[in-house]
Structure 1
Amino acid sequence: MDRLDVIGNVSLDRTRYPDHGGGARIGGAALFVSVAAAQAGRRAAPVCVLGNDLAHLPKMPGLDVLDWSARRQADGPSTTFDLEYGPQGELVAVGTDYGVAEILTEHALAHVDARPRATFHVCCRRPLDATAVLGRLAQFGADFSVDFFLPSAEAMIRAAAPWLPKATTLFLNSAEYRLLEQVIGCGTLPEVVITDGPRAAVVRSFGHQIASAVPPPQLPVEVSGAGDTLAGTFLAHRSRGATAAQALAEATAAASRYVAAPSLPIPAPRRG
């Protein structure tokens, strides 16, 4: 099975919920997608930029299962996100300091140039220049999938639209899918996975629904990263020949387990 190279952020996050839950943790779409894919049996590599504060991350227990060879180490702080959620688990505010991830686009393009035959997943989130990265992948005829992040989704979807029909799979939540419908004919898209929180997730192929799965009910502890977990799991199972229905069932189950589990704590640097 080929490696999944996941282009995106690895970050230091703080999540906040109305019940005073949440807190500081390790986050970032590239990390969550990669971990989920690895847990589902597919080798995965975050294509990311780590600052000094996360330089030790690849050696931490539980994260050493990833292939960290595609990371870039840079002098400075890692990306930080402050994520505030509403009572229904909806994201209501985002605070961001991109730190060393300002050079993520440069790093990602160099990585694509070096591995044009690899399989990629692109987390279309700032500060990544998704237009440049997707254009390069399309130029090489690379195999790639894509996801979005609601606060920047409208601009990112519009920018990415020319290349989306070339993607193997798109991952969106229901609000992002409505934005997508305004920009592109969804009947041109080979595979779109649409999530809706605790409600049924569906897969659409060239405009037709081909699969549906309701996530197993769980009392959520942390929802940030659930969509990334679903995406990584789905891609891992599809790469092994699972049908869309089989992969969606596995992916929704993994996302449900994720929201009920403790977050990844910020690890202290090792001494010596």
Structure 2
Amino acid sequence: MERLDVIGNISRDRTRYPDGRGGPRLGGAALFLSLAATRAGRQAAPVCVLGDDLVQLPKALGLGTLDWTALIQVEGASTTFDLEYDVHGELVGVHTEYGVAEKLTAHALRHVDQHPGGTYHVCCRRPLDVAAVLGRLAAYGSGFSVDFFLPSAKDVIRVAIPWLPLATTLFVNAAEYRLLERGINCGALPEVVITDGPRTAMVHHFGRQVASAVPPPSPVREVSGAGDTLAGTFLAYRSQGATAAQALAEATSAAARYVSAPPHPIPAPRRG
């Protein structure tokens, strides 16, 4: 089965909730999506840039199953996110220091040039130059899927619109889907997965609903990364021949397990 190359960030995060949950942890869409795809049976490689503060990451417990050959490590600080959620798990504030992720666009373009026949997922969020990366993938005829991040989705969706009908699958939450509808005829999109937290998730093919699933109830420990887990699982099952309904059922279950699991700790810095 062909590897899924995931273009995005891996970060040092801190999450905050009104009830005291949260704290420091590993984060980043490229990490969570790649892990989910791997666990669902598809080899995945984060195409990312790590700072020297995460040099030990590829050897960290639980992450050895990933293909780390598509990352580069450079001097400087890795991306950091400070994420604040309300009592319902909705994101209400975010502060970001991009650090070495400013080099992600150049790295991603080089990687695509070296592997034009690959299959890609693009985490469409800052500081990635989404137009440059999607344009390069489209020029090569590479297969790709995309997702967004709500704080930047309004601007990023607008930039990405020319290439979205070429994507195999788009992943959006309910708020992002409303932004999508304002900018493009969703009937032109082959596959859109729409999530809404613990509520019903849906799959649309060319504007027509073809599947739905309600995530199984589970205690919520951490929501950051749940959407990436759903996306990686869905893509893995679809690549193995599952129907949209089968893939969505597996993906919502994986996301439900994720939110109740302990977070990945940030590896200790290398000594010496």
Alignment of 1:106-255 (within 5 A): 106-255=106-255
Asked whether 1:67 is paired with 2:67, we answer yes
Query: How many aligned residue pairs are there?
Result: 272
Find the counterpart in structure 2 of residue 45 from structure 1: 45
Normalization by structure 2: what TM-score?
Answer: 0.99
Q: Deviations over 1:134-169 (max 9, x none)?
A: 000001110000000000000000000000000000
Asked whether 1:103 is paired with 2:112, we answer no
| 2: CA distance, partners of 1:257 / 1:171 | 19
Q: Deviations over 1:201-223 (max 9, x none)?
A: 00000000000000000110000
For the Cα contact (< 8 Å) 2:226–2:258, is it kept in 1? yes
| 2: CA distance, partners of 1:63 / 1:30 | 12
| 2: CA distance, partners of 1:212 / 1:245 | 7
SS at match of 1:199: coil
| 1: CA distance, partners of 2:19 / 2:13 | 18
- Structure 2 unaligned spans of 5+: none
Find the counterpart in structure 2 of residue 89 from structure 1: 89
SS at match of 1:168: coil
Find the counterpart in structure 1 of residue 266 from structure 2: 266
Q: Deviations over 1:41-99 (max 9, x none)?
A: 11000000000000110011211110000001110000000000012111011100000
Q: Deviations over 1:219-242 (max 9, x none)?
A: 100000000000000000000000
| 1: CA distance, partners of 2:218 / 2:179 | 28
| 2: CA distance, partners of 1:143 / 1:76 | 32
SS at match of 2:200: strand
Compute the displacement of 1:270 (Å).
4.9
Find the counterpart in structure 1 of residue 256 from structure 2: 256
| 2: CA distance, partners of 1:93 / 1:129 | 23
For the Cα contact (< 8 Å) 2:55–2:270, is it kept in 1? no
Normalization by structure 1: what TM-score?
Answer: 0.99
> Stretches of 4+ moved more than 6 A in 1?
none
Q: Tell me the amino acid that sits aligned with residue 29 of structure 2.
A: A
SS at match of 1:35: helix
Q: Tell me the amino acid that sits aligned with residue 76 of structure 2.
A: G
Compute the displacement of 1:269 (Å).
3.2
Compute the displacement of 1:268 (Å).
1.0
| 1: CA distance, partners of 2:202 / 2:256 | 15
Pairwise CA RMSD:
0.8
- Structure 1 unaligned spans of 5+: none
Find the counterpart in structure 2 of residue 78 from structure 1: 78
User: What percentage of aligned pairs have identical amino acids?
Assistant: 73
Compute the displacement of 1:271 (Å).
4.6
| 2: CA distance, partners of 1:269 / 1:88 | 34
Alignment of 1:7-26 (within 5 A): 7-26=7-26
| 1: CA distance, partners of 2:134 / 2:128 | 11
Q: Tell me the amino acid that sits aligned with residue 138 of structure 2.
A: A
| 1: CA distance, partners of 2:75 / 2:192 | 38
